[in-house]
Each structure stands twice: as C-alpha cells, then as structure tokens.
Amino acid sequence: MGNKVAAVIGGGVIGGGWAARFLLNGWDVQIFDPDPQAERKVGEVLANARRSTPGLVDVVLPAEGKLTFHDTIEGAVDGAVWIQESVPEQLAIKHKTFAQIQGVCAPDAVIGSSTSGFKPSQLQEGAARPGQIIVAHPFNPVYLLPLIEVVPTAENTPAFLDGAEAILTSMGFYPLRVRKEIDAHIADRFLEAVWREALWLVKDGIATTEEIDNAIRYGFGIRWAQMGLFETYRVAGGEAGMKHFMAQFGPCLSWPWTKLMDVPEFTDELVDLIAGQSDAQSGAYSIRELERIRDNNLVSMMRALKAQDWGAGALMNAQEATLRAASPTGTRIDQMADVSTPLLTVHRAVPLDWTDYNGHMTEAKYLQVFGDATDRFMNMIGCDAEYIGAGGSYFTAETHIRHVDEALAGAVIAVRTQVLSGAGKKMHLFHELFEGERLLATGEHFLLHVNLETRRPSEPSAPVLAALERVADAHAALPSPKGVGRAVGQRP
Amino acid sequence: MGNKVAAVIGGGVIGGGWAARFLLNGWDVQIFDPDPQAERKVGEVLANARRSTPGLVDVVLPAEGKLTFHDTIEGAVDGAVWIQESVPEQLAIKHKTFAQIQGVCAPDAVIGSSTSGFKPSQLQEGAARPGQIIVAHPFNPVYLLPLIEVVPTAENTPAFLDGAEAILTSMGFYPLRVRKEIDAHIADRFLEAVWREALWLVKDGIATTEEIDNAIRYGFGIRWAQMGLFETYRVAGGEAGMKHFMAQFGPCLSWPWTKLMDVPEFTDELVDLIAGQSDAQSGAYSIRELERIRDNNLVSMMRALKAQDWGAGALMNAQEATLRAASPTGTRIDQMADVSTPLLTVHRAVPLDWTDYNGHMTEAKYLQVFGDATDRFMNMIGCDAEYIGAGGSYFTAETHIRHVDEALAGAVIAVRTQVLSGAGKKMHLFHELFEGERLLATGEHFLLHVNLETRRPSEPSAPVLAALERVADAHAALPSPKGVGRAVGQRP
C-alpha cells in the first residue's frame, strides 16, 4: 500500500475518529481543519482512542504514527495515499474540497467521504478524476466500531476498490461494499426508521427517551450486537427455518401500524429470495447450533456489561445483590456465631464465558475464582466497597495454585476458605475449590493490607483486624491442609 | 409473593423460555400445551437455558423448581400465582383461554400474555376479572434477555402491577411499564420499522440478508446493546448536547428517504421534550464520562465476542492473526536461529476489560497473561490448534505467581519465558511480566502433556518434544531466575 500516510480533511468527532484509527494502526496522519479548536477536539478523541483501541486485540499494534496539523488542504494531502473527507454535509462544500484535494493529490490515492447523506455519484459530479472518490461511511466511535460502508459507482474500478478495502481491513475495519447507491446507504436507513418511530412514541407520550433506550438495550439491541436481523429471526423460527418464520411474521406487515407507509408486497418471490439468502448466510449451522452460539455470545456480552455495572449488566448485579444478601457468601463475620470451620466464600455455577470450546473451565478462571473468594472474605471481615473507597485494601503478593481436576460449564462450584494466619498487615489464606465433594484446585494466597493512596503496606482498621483475628484464631485449631507451603514442581 | 408456582399455557419457544426462567429461579412450573411434541420442545429450550442462565450472576440461583405437564388448563393453573399465556396470536383463542383460566385461578394471580400483537384492552374484553390480565411481552431467548414490556389498562390497580413487577424483577427481568397501550407496544414497533426497510433493501437488490446483518452488528447493533438510541445520540452530539444533535440530525427527516411516510413535525416543543427527557436520563454524566463508559462497554463486549470468535470478535481475530504472523510471538521455534535467551511470548496493551474501576490490571488477569504466554509457547513448539485438535495438549498442574508491581489500562506489557526443564511429559516454565524494564510479576508453571481423550498424562509427539528440548537445552545455561522454587509466604 505504499507509504502509510493519511490525510484527514475535517477534524470533528468523525474526522478525529478516523485520525485515531489511522494513527493507532501505525499511519502518519495529516489533518486540515480551519476550526481553531480542531487540535483540542482531535486530541480529546485521540485520548479516548488511546485508552481503548490498543488493547482490543491480544497482540501489540504497530508503533503509533505521527500526527501533524496543516493550514491548507494542499499541505495535508501531500504524500497521502488515503484522504478522508469529513466536512459539513453540504454538496457545494464537498465539491470544492474534492477539487482542492484533486489539484494536488496522487492520482491513485483513495479519496473517501464520510458522508451519510450523499450518494457517490453526487460526490463525483464535476470531479477531475471521479474514479478516485468513494463513500467510506464510518460509525462513531470510528476508532472502535468495525463497519465502513463503501459505496462506489461504475467510475471506480474493481482494482481500486479492492485496494481501498484492503487498507480498511488492515486497520481492523469491516468494509461493506454497497451493491447499488441509495440515499442514506444501508445502516442509516434503519437508524432513520427507528428515529422516526421513536419521535412519534415520545411525542405521543407512549414512552420517554429513557424507556425507549431500555426497550432497545435490554431486548433486541443486545441480540443485534452479535447476529443481525435475519440471523436472529432464522433462529427464532426454530427448526422449521426462515420460510416458517416469514409465514408467521409476514402477515403482521398488513397490521394497523403499517398504515403510515408502503410495505413491500409479500410475494413468494420475496420469501424465496430472503430464505435463499438466509440459507447462504447461516446454513452451515443447524438451528440448534445457532441457538447455542447466540446464547454463548449473549452470556459473554451480558457478563462483560456486568463487570462494567452497566445496562443489562447492572440489572444482573441488582439481582445478584438480592441473592447474595440471603447467602452465606454475603454474611459478615460479626453476624456469624461460629467461624471455626473453613468459610463458604464462593458458591456459583461455571458460566459459559469461563470455558473453552470443549466446555472446560479455563486455567485463568481458577485464579478468577480464588480472587473472587478473597474478595468475598475481605467483605466478610469488613474490607468492603465503602472501606476500600476510604483508602484501604488488601493486595495479593503471592499465589500458589494446584490444579487437581476439571469443571464443566454449568457445574456448581464452591470455595471454602481457611485462614492460615492473619495479624497486622498480613493475611495468609488457603482456598479449596470443589464441585460437590470433588476437589478441583487449591489456592494459597499471601496478602498485605495497603494504603491505596501511597500503594504501600499499612495497618488495617481495628474492626477489620479484629474480624480477621477472630477467624485466624478459630482456624488455628484446624489441621494444615494438604498442599500448603508447596513450591512448584516439588515432589509430594 | 406466596408459593412460587407458575402456570405456562402454551409451550413453544416463548412459553418454554418462560418455563425455563421460572424453573431456574426456583419456581415450580405447570405446563399446558395440547401439542404432543410440547414436552420435547420445552425440554430443548430448558436444555439451552440450563447451560446458559445459572452462570449469569456470580452467586448460585435458588434450587431448580419442579416441572410438570398437564392435560388441562385447569390442572396447570391450580395453585399458580403467575399464569403466562403464550397461545397463538388469535384474539378468539386468547379470550377462550382466559375464560378457562379465570374459571379456576386465584383471583389475585397474575395472568400475563406474551402477545406482541394485541393491546391489553382487547385481551380484557369480556373477561370475568379484567383487572388480573396484563400484557407481559418477553423477548427471545426469554431465559436470558431481561426486557418484559408490561402493558396495563385502567382496570389493573397500581398495587397489582407493583406486585407483578416485583415477581418479574426477582427473576432478573426488567419490567418496562408502557404508559399507554399502543399497537405492537414499543420494541416491536422498532423491529417492524427495521424489518420493512430490510425487505425493501433485499427486494431492490441493495444488499443481501448477510450484508444487512453485518451492517447492523458491526455498527449500531453493538452500540445499542449498552446504550439505546437517545443516549447514543446524546454522546454523538458531543459537548453541545442533545439539542445540538437534534439541530444537526433533525433536518434529515425531510430528506428524500422519508417520502414514503408521515414524520413528526420538528417543532421547538418536540426538541425541548426530547432534550429534557435526555437530561433526566443521562444528565448525571458529562459527555466525556459517557464517552468513556460507552468505550469501556464496547471494548468489553467486543472482547467477549472475540473469545467466542463471532461477529465483531471474529474480525478482531482476523486482524490479530495478520499482526501475529509478523510478530516474534507468532514465530515457531523451528524458524528461530537463536533460542538461547528467554522468549517473547506476550506483547500487548492492557485492555480496558482487564482493569478495575481505578484502571489497574486486576489480580486474575496476571494468570490470564501467564496462561496466554504458556499458550504462545506451546504454539511455538508446535502444540498448536491442529495438534490439540488431534488429541494432545499440555495441562497446567501447578502455578506460583509473585505480584511485584502494578500495570494500568493501555500499558504495553511483555512476557519473557524461560524453560526451566522440558523432558518427556513434563514442562516447567518461568514467565516474567514486564512493562518496559519494570518487572510486574513472575509466573512459575509446571505442566504435563495429556491425551485429551483419556485426560491422562501422555508423551508429546516427537517434533513437539524435540522443539521443547531444544529450548530447554539452550536455557539450561541461563541463571536460575529470582523467585524460582518459592513457596507462598517463604522469607526471601
């Protein structure tokens, strides 16, 4: 692809997002934007991108490229092999911008337009070289979302388009080539349809903006994050398949809420066309397989949101808090009459996102379980969210895990925690992980209480220390568990 | 809520999903469905639910309830405090079903209808006790998705509705009470709008079903999984807020693609109504905070999909494979001239989903990194996906981690791996995790080669063993790293 130099013409949220995507994939970026605030605005987008984009994949990205700001379009375009236009949505401005770009740019450079409103034939009107202009329509945040709608005309050669798409793909984009130009391309037609419907619902007092957002994100929104419209409906149709689904759902098109608009006639030809395309798209999987893929995806995304305490994940945390309050794992030491035996700190089912393709719990999740057990024990002795918020916590200094046996997705597992010692800043725990009576692993952990401001060891509060010492004293009478004090590879 | 007994009338995909949600939350479920295949169909939904629902939260759910099938509606309804109707979408059938239910059910039981097509006032027509009938419209898969549209009429008392919603919430549902009844409630109005638009696009040859699905799931679909329409647009509007966004976007409503239908007039009142509701919904956060919340969510969900190798995650894996092939971490031992120093096995940025609310890499992710390092080293010696597919692999038997220092989100980290010994079935590795020159942690791991069928120790293949021995021999000359052979809590 020659030298990795991109010009970004127009540096708002969208232009800044393009700049970030190029830079973080190792391209030099040359920006032109007459807005005196452009450098600050691009800098803010870039700050967001730098914290989120580099860790997306499990390998380091190329070294970040060089960012420069230019006073003229000519200066920004110099040497660029990709020129991305994100100026305001007015055709005259776009035409003038293209003329300036084409006055200086390489004839084989790609000129992509971020337009959502214009068709490529409109953009190419009157251009010196229409064949180097395409629509390359991104989605915000451009540094994260993969979709780029690539809309060409007959002026763009197949070789040119292949080259442009290869560049997009190399940066983690998904170029979706639109077969025929159409107003608003593809995705924005859906967004417009939903937006119109939403405006009616708000205006008519059916729902507020928040209720509408919840209707989306707690239902079909999370489905659409992993399968789109047709594959979701294919699964919903069940064993009888897409034709059956359409037979069920199609007639709804003539229901009252379609009175406002034309709808496509529901002919056999249309049903066959859609069912055939759906077979080509998803036919490699049975409905049963698609259901399980869908569920794996949903569980994984919902648990990802749970860790962020947002959306569906926040609902899950609320349900969990209620269940936890009624569970021994949610009980504090000062509420327990007897702490003389190892304490139940984890009691849960192995979730789908903790397992490999064979359904076995993966290695790293053993430390996840033991870390969770430590967190619960900390909560039990009063080192809870409030305490941590006030600046104290325990940090793990050292861990030893013995992997004894395997667990499958759905298995109900439990951790019992014995305090080997607890005094002053120090806490020495031994966790045993079971499925029923079967020992799966042990985790031995040495922790230090720290001051979260200095990140240095410090004394815990008196109540926390008292609770810890109460358990440590009670557990001192227990036998030393098998595996304590082992070094890795030591003979039994 | 009295005794936890639910009746499920109609046991298809939706009724089966309701049954699974109730059962897995500790309710007894009594099903009536005249379909001779009902028991098999419900069993299949329940099998899916049993593998995906119990692990959603990090605490064990109540013990599964008892499932029974009944020959009559009367038998199924006996003793139930919630009766869920999911019979075919024909009003006469629904009315007949409600009459039978109300002939025997408790007068304070909730009768919920899964209808998407009928308004509650239609359902209540001619009922003995209209006040106990509501729309409770779920989304497939009912055992995972939280949304239930609760649509009442004036016949339903506030106390009755509060009680019904408390039951739904206790099972992890999100009851969305719809303010006024309307055809198709809320979410399905959006689904219908998108479905109509999609049918046009397919019919007119603009895009195939697969291209449409990709336009959804690689772009706005994943955004809508965590924020809906309005909060997403609020963020897109940037610092200028929702009014600015609407000023920009609103005029598009009069663009050509709206020619097919009525659109709401874009009055100041409508703008103020929406901007005010958006403030109430999201005003607790600045735009900058919402951007970061959005990005945290997107990165977490995209990486969740990456682990499933699906959707946006499959694209990320494809990009990673290209980058990996050009990286030392993707190079095989037999392609390396010199293996005499510790090998680079991980080189990456700390992703947002690996960190706590303060941006520090969490404890469990240290084993994730070391596990990844082990996986890369296994790949380097030829124990790759193909080898594992043929039935051999290494399992970790024992792990020792020393936590030395912290890492923040975005930090570029690297693991260097030294082979302490490698012979026969045994492999003893020592990983050192660095950010630049700063040591963050060490991981000592003892692994055994296993036959994946018997899950018992076995000899590796000759080429794998030869590659391992080559590195072990070369590393035998290296000094023993600090921390090797330590037991937890041992004095230095």
Residue A431 has phi, psi (to 5 degrees) of: -100, 135
- Nearest Cα residue in chain B from A262: B260
> Which residues of A are part of a known binding site?
10-15
> Cis omega (within 30 of 0) on the bond before A463?
no
pLDDT at residue A21 tops 70: yes
A40 touches chain B (CB under 8 A): no
**Rounded to whole angstroms, how far apart are CA atoms A246 and A242?**
6
- Tell me the C-alpha to C-alpha distance, in Å, between residue A34 and each of A5, A87, A395: 20, 10, 50
B224 touches A225 (CB < 8 A) = yes
Top-confidence residue, B326 or B464: B464
* pLDDT for residue B231: 92
**Rounded to whole angstroms, how far apart are CA atoms B294 and B282?**
12
* Banded pLDDT at B259 (limits 50, 70, 90): very low
- Nearest Cα residue in chain B from A228: B213
* pLDDT for residue B273: 87
A42 touches A66 (CB < 8 A) = no
pLDDT at residue B4 tops 80: yes
- What is the tens place of the pLDDT at every residue in B159-180? 999 999 999 999 999 999 999 9
Q: Which CATH number fits domain A5-177: 3.10.20.30, 3.30.420.40, 3.40.50.720, 3.40.50.2300?
A: 3.40.50.720
Structure tokens at A363: 């290695």
* Banded pLDDT at B242 (limits 50, 70, 90): confident
**Rounded to whole angstroms, how far apart are CA atoms A65 and A4?**
9
Stretch A406-423: mean pLDDT:
96
Quick count: other Cβ atoms within 10 Å of Cβ A443?
25
* pLDDT for residue B258: 43
B489 touches chain A (CB under 8 A): yes
Sorted by sequence, the CB contacts under 8 Å of residue A77 that are 6+ apart come out as A7, A9, A30, A32, A83, A101, A104, A105, A109
Contacts by residues A481-485 (CB-CB < 8 Å, ≥ 24 positions apart):
A481/A418, A481/A430, A481/A432, A481/A442, A482/A442, A483/A402, A483/A442, A483/A444, A484/A420, A484/A430, A484/A444, A485/A444, A485/B487, A485/B488, A485/B489, A485/B490
Residue B297 has phi, psi (to 5 degrees) of: -65, -45
B245 touches B234 (CB < 8 A) = yes
Top-confidence residue, A178 or B233: A178
Q: Is B151 annotated as a binding residue?
A: no
B400 touches chain A (CB under 8 A): yes
- What is the tens place of the pLDDT at every residue in B29-83? 999 999 999 999 999 999 999 999 999 999 999 999 999 999 999 999 999 999 9
CA nearest to A230, candidates A215, A214, A243: A243
Structure tokens at A269: 């030809």
A193 touches A263 (CB < 8 A) = no
Sorted by sequence, the CB contacts under 8 Å of residue B388 that are 6+ apart come out as B452
The answer to whether B308 contacts A300, with C-beta atoms less than 8 Å apart, is yes
The count of CB pairs under 8 A between chains A and B is 593
Listed by start position, the domains of chain A span: 5-177, 207-293, 332-475
CA nearest to A432, candidates A359, A343, A348: A343
**Rounded to whole angstroms, how far apart are CA atoms A323 and A317?**
10
pLDDT at residue A173 tops 50: yes
Q: Is B15 annotated as a binding residue?
A: yes
pLDDT at residue B188 tops 50: yes
Contacts of A398 in chain B (CB under 8 A): 400-403, 486, 488-489
Q: Which CATH number fits domain B328-475: 1.10.3720.10, 3.40.50.720, 3.50.90.10, 3.10.129.10?
A: 3.10.129.10
**Rounded to whole angstroms, how far apart are CA atoms B184 and B20?**
25
Stretch B112-136: mean pLDDT:
97
- What is the tens place of the pLDDT at every residue in A457-475? 999 999 999 999 999 999 9
> Which residue do the tokens 């030393």 mark?
A480
* Banded pLDDT at B252 (limits 50, 70, 90): low
- Nearest Cα residue in chain A from B368: A364
* Banded pLDDT at A257 (limits 50, 70, 90): very low
- H/E stretch holding A101 reads helix A91-104
Q: Which CATH class is domain A332-475?
A: alpha beta
Interface of A with B in 274-333 (CB under 8 A): 274, 277-278, 280-281, 288, 291-308, 310-312, 315-317, 319-320, 322-324, 327, 329-330
Quick count: other Cβ atoms within 10 Å of Cβ A354?
22
The sheet with strand B5-9 has its strands ordered as B67-70, B28-32, B5-9, B82-85, B110-113, B133-138, B147-151, B174-177
The fraction of chain B above a pLDDT of 70, given in percent, is 96
A489 touches chain B (CB under 8 A): yes
- What is the tens place of the pLDDT at every residue in A39-52? 999 999 999 999 99
Beta bridge partners of A422: A427
* Banded pLDDT at B264 (limits 50, 70, 90): low
Cα-trace Rg, chain B: 29
User: What angle in degrees, to the nearest 10, is found between the helix axes of A268-282 and A229-236?
Assistant: 90
SS3 B96: helix
A459 touches A468 (CB < 8 A) = no
Structure tokens at B228: 């809906």
**In sequence order, what DSSP letters do the residues of A206-239 get, joined into one string?**
S--HHHHHHHIIIIIHHHHTTS-HHHHHHHHTGG
**Rounded to whole angstroms, how far apart are CA atoms A100 and A77?**
9
Label residue A471 exposed, middle or buried (CB < 10 Å: 0-12, 13-18, 19+): buried
pLDDT at residue B195 tops 90: no
**Rounded to whole angstroms, how far apart are CA atoms A33 and A97?**
12
SS3 B119: coil
* Banded pLDDT at A246 (limits 50, 70, 90): confident
The answer to whether B206 contacts A406, with C-beta atoms less than 8 Å apart, is no
**Rounded to whole angstroms, how far apart are CA atoms B105 and A288?**
36
B110 touches B102 (CB < 8 A) = no
Outline where DSSP puts E strands in B162-317.
174-177
Longest Cα–Cα distance in chain B: 89
- Tell me the C-alpha to C-alpha distance, in Å, between residue B234 and each of A208, A322, B34: 14, 32, 49
* pLDDT for residue A249: 63
**Rounded to whole angstroms, how far apart are CA atoms A393 and A492?**
35
Sorted by sequence, the CB contacts under 8 Å of residue B491 that are 6+ apart come out as none
**Rounded to whole angstroms, how far apart are CA atoms B211 and A278?**
11
- What is the tens place of the pLDDT at every residue in A206-236? 999 999 999 999 999 999 999 999 999 888 8
The answer to whether B59 contacts A312, with C-beta atoms less than 8 Å apart, is no
Mean pLDDT of chain A: 93
Sorted by sequence, the CB contacts under 8 Å of residue B284 that are 6+ apart come out as none
